[in-house]
Amino acid sequence: MKKLASILLALVIAATPMYSLAENKPKILCSIFPIYDWMHEILGERQSEVELSLLQKTGADMHNFQPTAEDFIKISSADLFIYIGGTSDLWADDAVPEAINKSQVALALTDALGDALLEHEHEHEHAHEDEHGHDEHEHHDHTDEHIWLSLKNAKVLCKAMLEALIKVDGEYADTYTANCNSYIEKLDKLDKEYETVVKNAKRDTLLFADRFPFAYLVKDYGLKHYAAFEGCSAESEASFETVAFLAEKADELSLPCLIVIEGSEGKIASAVLNASKNPNRPLLVLDSMQAVDEQAAKSGTNYLSIMEENLNIIKQALN
Q: What is the pLDDT of residues 168-204, one digit of tens each?
A: 999 999 999 999 999 999 999 999 999 999 999 999 9
Q: Mark whether 165 and 53 lie in a shared domain.
A: yes
What residues make up the domain containing 14?
A: 2-114+145-184
pLDDT at 50: 96
Q: Mark whether 216 and 172 lie in a shared domain.
A: no
Look over the chain and give the mean of its residue pLDDT values, rounded to a whole number.
Answer: 86
What pLDDT, in 10s, does the model give residues 34-54? 999 999 999 999 999 999 999
pLDDT at 128: 44
% pLDDT > 90, the chain: 66
Residue 49 domain-assigned (yes or no) = yes
Number of structural domains in the chain: 2
Q: Mark whether 159 and 202 lie in a shared domain.
A: no
| Selected residue with higher pLDDT from 236 and 82 | 82
Asked whether 73 and 19 are in contact (CB, 8 A), the reply is yes
What pLDDT, in 10s, does the model give residues 213-226? 999 999 999 999 99
Residue 97 domain-assigned (yes or no) = yes
Q: Mark whether 246 and 100 lie in a shared domain.
A: no
CATH number (domain holding residue 86): 3.40.50.1980
Residue 120 domain-assigned (yes or no) = no
Produce one character per residue of 160-180: b if its CB has 16 or more CB atoms within 10 Å, e if not. Answer: bbbbbbbebbeebeeebbebb
Q: Mark whether 31 and 177 lie in a shared domain.
A: yes
Strands, E assignment, the chain: 27-30, 51-54, 80-83, 105-108, 205-208, 224-227, 258-261, 283-286
From 184, 210, 233, give the residue that closes a domain: 184
Q: Mark whether 51 and 166 lie in a shared domain.
A: yes
Q: Mark whether 31 and 178 lie in a shared domain.
A: yes
Q: How far is CA 178 from CA 159, 163, 227, in A?
A: 11, 13, 40
Q: Mark whether 163 and 257 lie in a shared domain.
A: no
pLDDT at 8: 52
| Selected residue with higher pLDDT from 272 and 59 | 272
From 161, 184, 207, give the residue that closes a domain: 184
Q: Mark whether 100 and 204 lie in a shared domain.
A: no
Flag whether pLDDT at 157 surpasses 60. yes
Residue 57 domain-assigned (yes or no) = yes
Q: Mark whether 159 and 203 lie in a shared domain.
A: no
pLDDT at 139: 44
Residue 138 domain-assigned (yes or no) = no
Flag whether pLDDT at 158 surpasses 80. yes
Q: Mark whether 77 and 200 lie in a shared domain.
A: no
What pLDDT, in 10s, does the model give residues 123-145? 334 444 444 444 554 444 578 99
What pLDDT, in 10s, does the model give residues 275-306? 999 999 999 999 999 888 888 888 889 999 99
pLDDT at 235: 60
